Amino acid sequence: MGDALNAALSRLDDAAELLKLDPAIHQRLRRPRRVLEVSVPVRMDDGSIEVFTGWRVHHNTASGPGKGGIRFHQDVDADEVTALAVGMTFKNAVLGLPFGGAKGGVRCDPTTMSNAELERLTRRYTWEILPLLGPDRDIPAPDVNTDAQVMSWIMDTVSMSTDQATPAVVTGKPLLLGGSKGHVGATSSGVVICIRALFQELGLPVAGSRVVIQGFGKVGGPLAFLLHSAGMRVVAVSDVLGATVNPGGLDPIALANHVKETGTVAGFGGGDAIGRDKIWDIETEVVVPAALEGAIDVDVARRLRTRAIVEAANGPTLPEADPILHDRGIVTVPDILANAGGVTASYFEWVQNRAGYAWEEPLVAERLRTRMEESFHAVWARAVELDVSLRRAAFVVGVERVAETMAARGMYP
């Protein structure tokens, strides 16, 4: 069992103990409902055939159809996808969304593939997992190394296979194919909403406060701009190739232009170069991990010089680091709350597709803000009530809601 899956199950177990959860429901929650592993043969541009491996996992669908992204990455495996599906179950529950938890992935390196190869990979993977997909069964979304174009290919493949338009089968689509205004950047917007709510509880001013961002991709890039616009100083940013620091604050637009030209934050003229691991040593009010899993381990937890962590990535903090952060008084807004803006916007897109009526962007933004703030305050109140960290409280809220739904439905047969 992989580290990510162990981490997800350990947090489930902790919530179950705090709730005195029915052992039968606990047992069911520890196992995914289904794990589909598929072979994905693809004809490459040179005429050769390469066979990739893909997965789609449904962890729990008591609350509704499976909802979760699809990632293309060379290190993805069944345990990682299952761990992410577990997280989606409780993330959806914390936000009060009528979805269960699902996730998907294909083990491949998309950076080495042409656009045509990626399309053939996507369409064949979609065909292989087709029995699971549908607006009332399972609704994928973008994740690592997938985007609106990949979602378009998935939607078209499903639609062609059934000979009917099925825009609600995926979210994160382009606007002309039924995407939602306000969906792009919704994860980053949700992180900002959580930072504002957290700073209000901690009595910290947003304007002038310092932030370090690990990762400058689909979430970290827009986030740097949004936080800068809110008056915060983005003092350091890192990616897989390096990091840049400026105590007076980095210019996010200039940095984004540099990344567009070079592919990395390293070498940015508006800051000083540092090792990417050194960002954890910078004194700051908030750190935002926005890359892949497992970034904050025991060593990093001991080194951090910050008041708070707001997790824009999935699973960035290892379980053994949690008690160290708690003992040091570093407040952590967990991933299943902090980065839920994306799945919330996906819910809005799904609702619009089902109704056949598009919302205007201000309505999307207002409903996103309302739902994120309500969810934050529900978790904060539970943390105060139980005298536990926000992560433990968030899992308590999520597990309790799913367990109540399972108990209400009963078990078939």
Sign, CA dihedral 178-182-183-184, equals positive
CA torsion, points 10, 316, 93, 1, in degrees to nearest 10? Answer: -40
Antiparallel, parallel or unpaired: β 49-60 and 34-43: antiparallel
Q: Could you confirm whether 67 is annotated as catalytic? A: no
Question: Integer distance in angstroms from the first to the last C-alpha of the chain?
Answer: 30
User: Distance between CA atoms of 186 and 166, rounded to whole angstroms?
Assistant: 23
Among the listed residues 91, 103, 173, 181, the single catalytic one is 103
On whether the CB atoms of residues 102 and 59 are closer than 8 A, the answer is yes
User: Distance between CA atoms of 350 and 168, rounded to whole angstroms?
Assistant: 5
On whether the CB atoms of residues 131 and 77 are closer than 8 A, the answer is no
Enzyme catalytic residues = 103
